[in-house]
Amino acid sequence: MGIIVSVKNLTRVFDVSKPWLNRVIERLPKRKLTAVSDVSFEITENTVYALVGESGSGKSTIGKMIVGLLPPSDGTVEIEGVNLATETDAGVIERVRSDIQMIFQDPYASLNPRWKVGDIIEEPAVANGDATDGLAEKLLEQVGLSASDVRKFPHEFSGGQRQRICVARALASEPKLIVCDEPTSALDVSVQAQVLNLMSDLKDEFGLTYLFISHDLTVIQHMADRIGVLYLGRLVEEASPADLFETPQHPYTQMLLEAAPRMDGFGREVTPPEGEIPDPINPPTGCAFHPRCPLAIDRCATERPVLEQKEKARVACFRAGERAI
């Protein structure tokens, strides 16, 4: 199977300075926030690649750069071998663009309340100039709703049904890759089960590839073929679910797995992780995790570890594989 997405040294810096005039009056320096720093990974066709990490770790920023909603500050994104930022052939750009779709966290905010469901679903196909006869009806049935729902408005649907409408819309342009940013985080577990099952079915049926963004480890474990763990904009570990959950190699991954609540953890006494995620504007030197890492050595404060192959995983840590907890 081929590689559909290839991300190399991807970096995104945001300028979070105060307005120019304030800066001059208050004598403030420019402030830069590095949301994503030197991230590289590949996604194989018809698999689910999951990005996991705590709030602010850069998950959404990576997703937006992959679908082309945000330009990288450095590094490249190639979809089917095409770099949309540098490609000049308009035909190629259009073809690749229509192969990518995105689904967002909030099924309430991402559907226009004044549009009928049918129009919402067909919109990406219309934008492509494709035929839309009966398309919305067919897609609604594919996501487990009914063809007659095309004439209804979003407010007539529950949260889970709205997220299915979002999935139907994403499918309209017959994409190959869908970037899903926390697609079930706003949903109850019973509704989440419906949406996750639907996504798995569609993946098999249409040979779809997903970049699946979530902070929920149990969801990630269920859905992913490959998992990338982010900390402060850096990819710190990448492995298969089996390897990651059995033998996490990076101290941060170990901490994350230990802290996550378990349904079989009756009366479990967790040693809560120390400290908090540092300020991304002034990240720690060397390894960004060193102020919280129980395994940190002198070198960690000065030198940034690179992501290297370690057994079947890729890990960015000088002491990869040692147990912190």
Partner 1 sequence: MSQPVLSVRDLIVEIPTRHGLLKPVDGVSYDISPGEILGVVGESGAGKSMTGNAVIGLLDRPARIASGGIYLNGERIDNLSLAQLRRYRGKQIGMVFQDPLTSLNPLLPIGDQLTETIQEHLGVSGGEAHNRAVAALDEVGIPAAKERIGSYPHEFSGGMRQRVVIALALCAEPSLLIADEPTTALDVSVQAQITSLLKRLCRERGMAVMLVTHDMGVIAETADRVAVMYAGKLAELGPVREVITSPRHPYTDGLMGSTPLASKGKRRLHQIPGNMPRLGQLPDGCAFHPRCPYTQDRCKADPGPRLKTCDGRAACWFPLDGAQAAKGVA
Ligand X SMILES: Nc1ncnc2c1ncn2[C@@H]1O[C@H](COP(=O)(O)OP(=O)(O)OP(=O)(O)O)[C@@H](O)[C@H]1O
Task: Write out the residues near ligand SF4 by the rule CB under 6 A.
Answer: 250-251, 287, 289-290, 293, 295-296, 300, 305, 317-319
**Length of the chain, in residues:** 325
Residue 310 and residue 204: Cα distance in Å, rounded? 31
Closest CA to 210 of 247, 233, 181: 181
Over the window 213 to 252, marking each residue x when it contacts ligand X by CB under 6 A and - when it does not, the resulting string is --x-------------------------------------
Region 214-243 residues binding partner 1, contact defined as CB under 8 A: 215, 217-219, 221-223
Residue 211 and residue 201: Cα distance in Å, rounded? 16
- How many residues at the interface with ligand X, by CB under 6 A? 14
Region 255-274 residues binding partner 1, contact defined as CB under 8 A: 255-256, 259-270, 272-273
Residue 221 and residue 217: Cα distance in Å, rounded? 6
* Contacted entry of partner 1, ligand X, Mg ion, none for residue 110, CB cut-off 5 to 8 Å set by kind: none
Region 26-65 residues binding partner 1, contact defined as CB under 8 A: 54-55
* Contacted entry of ligand X, ligand SF4, partner 1, none for residue 314, CB cut-off 5 to 8 Å set by kind: none
Over the window 57 to 76, marking each residue x when it contacts Mg ion by CB under 5 A and - when it does not, the resulting string is ---x----------------
Among 5, 178, 179, 191, binds partner 1 (CB under 8 A): 191
- Stretch touching ligand X by CB under 6 A, among 51-59, 146-154, 170-178, 235-243: 51-59
The two structure tokens encoding residue 69: 């909603």
58 near ligand X, judged by CB under 6 A: yes
Among 35, 136, 166, 199, binds ligand X (CB under 6 A): 35
Residue 293 and residue 24: Cα distance in Å, rounded? 39
Q: How far is the CB of 35 from partner 1 (least distance, A)?
A: 16
Q: Which is nearer to Mg ion, 60 or 173 (CB)?
A: 60
Region 200-219 residues binding ligand X, contact defined as CB under 6 A: 215
Among 3, 13, 33, 259, binds ligand X (CB under 6 A): 33
* Contacted entry of ligand X, partner 1, ligand SF4, none for residue 48, CB cut-off 5 to 8 Å set by kind: none
Q: How far is the CB of 143 from ligand X (least distance, A)?
A: 24
Q: Which is nearer to ligand SF4, 130 or 243 (CB)?
A: 243
Q: How far is the CB of 188 from Mg ion (least distance, A)?
A: 12
Sequence-separated (6 or more) residues with CB below 8 Å from residue 110 = 103, 104, 166
193 near partner 1, judged by CB under 8 A: yes
Cβ 7 vs Cβ 39: under 8 Å: yes
Contact residues for ligand X, defined by CB under 6 A? 14, 16, 33, 35, 53, 55-61, 215, 280
